[in-house]
Structure 1
Amino acid sequence: MSIDFHQLVLSRRSIRKFMSQAVSNEDLVLILEAARLAPSGTNRQPWRFVLLTEAPDREKIAGAVIQPFVIEAPAVFVCCIDKGAFTRGLVEQRLSELVDAGAVSREAAGIIYRRKMPDKVEDVVIPGFAYLDLGIAIEHMVLQATALGLGSCWVRLFNPDQVHESLSLSPEMEVVALLPVGYPAETPLPRPRFSSAQILLKAGSTIL
């Protein structure tokens, strides 16, 4: 299915009712691939995901969610940040790759590397931009799902610590969001949005 990008954005909805039909492994791989290709600060790629496609696995997180539709979806991505991506050794590796690719100068890499960074993962405090990185990756997933005729919904209303414990995740993983995915069983109307004129500050442009 080929779709114009603007039409794709227009057609995206937050879906909270799903059919029971399973999502194919091929489509799930494409959604994960969309996340993999997302940009990130210093190419740290801090995102990690747990994919729950079996009902018993989804039930493990049932006590952590408030909205039942989350675990009723045939697939749920548990979206995490890996604290290890912010240790000095891995940052140095990513910077070296960017320099070799010609994306960052050695001078710029040196400035970044001279910043204070922890050597041990247990000393990492996740920086704010890491959540932006994960957000970009998740939106890539959302749009890829939409292009495949699937629905999804960002979910932040849950207990991340309980999800972490229920799935026995390693300490360096921080659970940030849930992304249920499946075939839509509803067609929501467009939600109210501000106009372009309302969101564009006039200080530097007269396009509107």
Structure 2
Amino acid sequence: MPAKSTKKTKPTVVTIDGKARYHEPAPTGIDLESFHQVVISRRSVRKFTDKAIPQAVLDDCLDMALLAPCSSGLQPWEFFVVRSAGKKAKLVKACMSQLAAKTAAELIVCVARTDRIDEFSRKMLREWPMPDVPKLVQRYYQLIPYNYAPGPLNSFALVKKAAFSLGGMVAAVPRGPYTKSEVELWAAKSTALACENLVLAFRAHGFDTCMMEGFDEVRVRKLLNLGDASMPIMVVGAGERADDGVFWPQVRFERELFVHEV
């Protein structure tokens, strides 16, 4: 299965209430039971067989990760597939030599980035999929670099926070991200959504994963030569589940602890 093409197609436009609107009908015929099985059978696998993952499968899973929802469409993520034997051995050590890391056919480092907001805001306007970029959209993406810039020592963030706090007294306003740490959290949230897409795609292909947050971030940064604005979120080990690859039954607490109707 080849990687998905990025070639643009002409959008479908229909007229609604006298105005041209983009038209993308919801697909039908999706197999709900198969989706249930993908979600339910996804487990944190701690031991894999030595079976390789076909390149086409790996590419497809990464492509599915790149389709994850993301704030303002800015796609603040990167995925490093560690293939070099030497680097892979170092990454295993950085993951504290967990069995899931040692036996995985593939190790993928999922990274959130906060230094491409300006660049990708301009890229969004250049590659807008419709013939015309609405003025409101233009203004929005022109302002994003300022909205997400904390400034030296969060100086700009404090000014913005004070201004929006005053505005919030009379109307609903966005309450961040303002500070450097809040922008990092913003990027991490979108990257985590992409990680979920990634592991579910592997499961749909018949492979399994372990999402490892237990790693030495300093060593991972050095291994991948990451800049200060790049944050390793997790290391995903992927491969074929060994017969004894799941160590114990899944534990989930009572639904009432998490789901509320208000």
TM-score with structure 2 setting the length: 0.65
Partner residue, 1:148 = 205
Q: Where does structure 1 differ by over 6 angstroms across 4 or more consecutive aligned residues?
A: none
Partner of 1:107: 136
1:202 aligns with 2:261: yes
Q: Across the two proteins, how many residue pairs are aligned to each other? A: 197
Give the Cα separation in 1 of the matches to 2:184 and 2:138. Answer: 18
Change (3 A) 1:187 1:76: closer
Letter of the 2:108 counterpart: F
- Following superposition, the deviation at residue 187 of structure 1 comes to 5.3
Is 1:73–2:104 an aligned residue pair?
yes
Residues 159, 96 of structure 1: CA spacing in aligned structure 2 closer, same or farther, 3 A cutoff?
Answer: same
How do 1:27-66 and structure 2 match up within 5 A?
27-66=57-96
5+ unaligned residues in a row in structure 1: which ranges?
204-208
CA contact (8 A) 1:42 1:94 kept: no
In 1, distance between residues paired with 2:77 and 2:231?
10
Give the TM-score taking structure 1 as reference length.
0.80
Partner residue of 1:9?
A: 39
- Change over 3 Å in CA distance of 1:198–1:92 after alignment to 2: same
Identify the structure with bigger relative contact order (alpha carbons < 8 Å, sequence gap 6+): 1
TM superposition shift of 1:157: 0.8
Give the Cα separation in 1 of the matches to 2:185 and 2:89: 31
SS in 2 for 1:84: coil
Partner of residue 206, structure 1: none
- 1:150-206 Cα shifts (integer Å, max 9, x gaps): 110111111112111023345543222100000001353541213434322132xxx
Q: Which of 109, 115, 122 lines up with 1:84 in the alignment?
A: 115
Partner of 1:130: 187
Instruction: Judge conservation of contact 1:27–1:148 (CA < 8 Å) in 2.
Output: yes
- Give me the CA root mean square deviation: 2.9
Q: After superposition, give the CA deviation of every residue in 1:123-149 in whole Å (9 maximum; x if it has no partner).
A: 993432211110110000110011111
Q: Is the CA contact (8 Å cut-off) linking 2:115 and 2:229 kept in structure 1?
A: yes
- For 2:236, the equivalent position in structure 1 comes to 179
Q: Which amino acid aligns with 2:95?
A: V
Residues 131/95 of structure 1: CA separation in 2 closer, same or farther (3 Å cut): farther
Structure 2 residue runs without a partner (length 5+) = 1-30, 155-178
**SS, match of residue 212 in structure 2:** coil
Q: 1:84 and 1:195, CA in 2 relative to 1: closer, same or farther beyond 3 A?
A: same
CA distance in 2, matches of 1:54, 1:96: 36
Q: Percent identity?
A: 25
Distance 1:136 1:101, change over 3 A: farther
